[in-house]
């Protein structure tokens, strides 16, 4: 999939105002609309033009897209980075699959139902619009609960029609046991009501900070734990840090790298708490001293061990 430069598609500068974007769209639509255009590939060009307008004419989508566009150029190989739209507020409920039928895979990956950036307007009403944002927290917060200051980027349009960003900081209580993908509802923190109506709500979708130590599946947590060759061979009781704190783990004698040990109920808390799966990783000490090399040589001479025996080839 290639990155699309929507400013290039419309032929406008990145500083273009809302009115300039609207004029550029109308000019291109008159030229490439399939009902009237004789240009080659008019239908494809019109699809690109519609995509560009759908993003750049919406202050919320444009603000998030602009941050992403700083890192890529048109035509570059592209996959959306994890949580690329975290920390931005978006309105409404989201594009349905039918809405995405006329748009490219690039648009669908960024602005489909899977991404908060795809959430669009649902019309005017007395009650304020609900808003949505993706936030990233540490896994430890899900274990213990926490109160965190979370700053969201909210677009505003200045008098010249340019999209600017303002920060919206909230103190949010992270409940113990929250899962990835779960929503925290903040009543009254959404869009303002119309005609004196009540404000909408803000829904925060939880994601966990990427951490090479852990892999999360629902409430289950998988963790790699390094052990020494003698701990693996002879068995041992070791201590290791986990998201819930330091725990003791019994390593069975004769363990190998990749062996999984289940610690029941040590996953993310909840009515049915998850489990913690410890995957052992045997780590060899370096042979960087005379004594260390001597010990390795003794093992090589005295242990009848060939890890390749019986593997063929």
Q: What is the pLDDT along the chain (313 residues), one digit of tens a residue?
A: 788 889 988 999 988 888 899 999 989 888 888 777 777 777 788 888 888 888 888 888 888 888 888 877 787 777 777 777 777 777 754 444 444 445 677 777 777 654 445 444 443 335 777 888 899 999 999 999 999 999 988 877 777 777 888 888 989 999 999 999 999 999 888 877 766 678 888 899 999 999 999 999 999 999 999 999 999 999 999 999 999 999 999 999 999 999 999 999 999 999 999 999 999 999 999 999 999 999 999 999 998 888 887 665 4
DSSP states of 147-216? EEEEEEEEEEE-TTS-EEEEEEEEEEEE-TT--TT-EEEETT-SSPPSTTPPP--EEEEEEEPP-TTEEE
Q: Contact at 8 Å (CB) between 224 and 211?
A: no
At 118 the pLDDT is 47
| The predicted structure's pLDDT at residue 116 | 45
Answer whether 143's CB lies under 8 Å from 276's CB: no
pLDDT of residue 126: 59
- pLDDT recorded at residue 103: 66
Q: What is the per-residue pLDDT for 136? A: 92
pLDDT at 102: 58
pTM: 0.64
Q: Residue 83: what pLDDT? A: 74
How much is the pLDDT for 312? 54
Count the neighbouring beta carbons within 10 Å of the beta carbon of residue 70: 7
The per-residue pLDDT for 156 is 78
pLDDT at 89: 73
């Amino acid at each position: 999939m290639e990155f699309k430069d929507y400013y290039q598609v419309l032929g406008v500068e990145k500083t273009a105002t809302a009115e300039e974007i609207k004029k550029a769209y109308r000019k291109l639509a008159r030229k490439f609309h399939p009902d009237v255009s004789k240009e080659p590939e008019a239908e494809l060009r019109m699809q690109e033009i519609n995509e560009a307008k759908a993003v750049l004419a919406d202050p919320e989508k444009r603000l998030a897209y602009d941050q992403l566009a700083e890192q890529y150029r048109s035509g570059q190989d592209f996959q959306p980075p994890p949580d690329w739209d975290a920390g931005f507020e978006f309105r409404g409920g989201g594009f349905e699959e039918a809405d995405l039928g006329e748009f490219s895979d690039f648009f669908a990956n960024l602005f489909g139902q899977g991404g908060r950036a795809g959430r669009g307007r649902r019309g005017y009403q007395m009650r304020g619009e609900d808003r949505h944002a993706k936030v990233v927290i540490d896994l430890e917060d899900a274990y213990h609960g926490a109160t965190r200051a979370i700053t969201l980027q909210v677009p505003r349009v200045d008098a010249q029609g340019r999209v600017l960003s303002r920060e919206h900081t909230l103190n949010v209580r992270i409940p113990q046991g929250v899962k990835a993908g779960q929503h925290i509802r903040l009543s009254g923190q959404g869009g303002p009501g119309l005609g004196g109506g009540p404000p909408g709500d803000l829904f925060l979708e939880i994601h966990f900070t990427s951490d090479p130590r852990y892999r999360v599946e629902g409430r289950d947590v998988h963790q790699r734990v390094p052990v020494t060759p003698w701990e693996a061979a002879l068995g041992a009781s070791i201590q290791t840090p986990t998201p819930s704190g330091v725990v003791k783990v019994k390593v069975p004698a004769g363990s190998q790298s990749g062996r999984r040990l289940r610690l029941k109920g040590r996953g993310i808390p909840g009515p049915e708490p998850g489990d913690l799966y410890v995957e052992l990783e045997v780590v060899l000490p370096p042979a960087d001293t005379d004594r260390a090399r001597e010990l390795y040589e003794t093992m090589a001479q005295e242990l009848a061990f060939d890890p390749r025996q019986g593997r063929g080839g």
